């Protein structure tokens, strides 16, 4: 199940979290500024954006056990995570197509 929530609901409508159950992506405006996976702690990018995004980052760091990393490292880690997510999605889609083909063949 995918859920959308605000991690600073009374302070900022631009602080959004997308929860995919096994991973979460934290946004400030349209930028992913942090992410969490089941097998790692919360990874937070250093602030290279604005003062408001800096507030969002500070909130995440103060509420969670977070690892802050430089922006190049953050982007590299996020890219790797997105590739894993896409690979998993493609495998699920392929499995669905194989199941459909098997069902049609068994009719």
Beta carbons within 10 angstroms of residue 28's beta carbon: 26
Residue 44 and residue 32 in contact, taking contact as beta carbons nearer than 8 Å:
no
Beta carbons within 10 angstroms of residue 60's beta carbon: 23
54-107 residue pLDDT tens: 999 999 998 887 879 999 999 999 999 888 888 887 777 777 777 887 777 777
State how many domains the chain has.
Answer: 1
Separation CA 1–CA 75 (nearest Å) = 26
Write out the H or E segment, with its range, that includes residue 100.
helix 71-105
The four Cα atoms 20, 7, 56, 86 give a dihedral, to 10 degrees, of 10
Give the domain extent around 45. Answer: 3-105
9-59 residue pLDDT tens: 888 899 999 998 889 999 999 999 999 998 888 999 999 999 999 999 999
What pTM was estimated for this model as a whole? 0.79
């Amino acid at each position: 199940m995918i859920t959308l929530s605000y991690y600073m609901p009374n302070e900022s409508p631009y602080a959004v979290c997308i929860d995919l159950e096994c991973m979460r992506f934290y946004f400030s405006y349209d930028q992913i500024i942090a992410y969490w996976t089941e097998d790692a702690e919360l990874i937070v990018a250093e602030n290279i954006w604005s003062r408001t995004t800096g507030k969002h980052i500070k909130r995440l760091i103060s509420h969670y056990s977070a690892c802050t990393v430089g922006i190049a490292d953050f982007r590299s880690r996020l890219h790797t995570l997105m590739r894993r997510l896409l690979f998993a999605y493609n495998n699920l889609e392929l499995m669905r197509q194989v199941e459909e083909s098997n069902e049609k063949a068994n009719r």
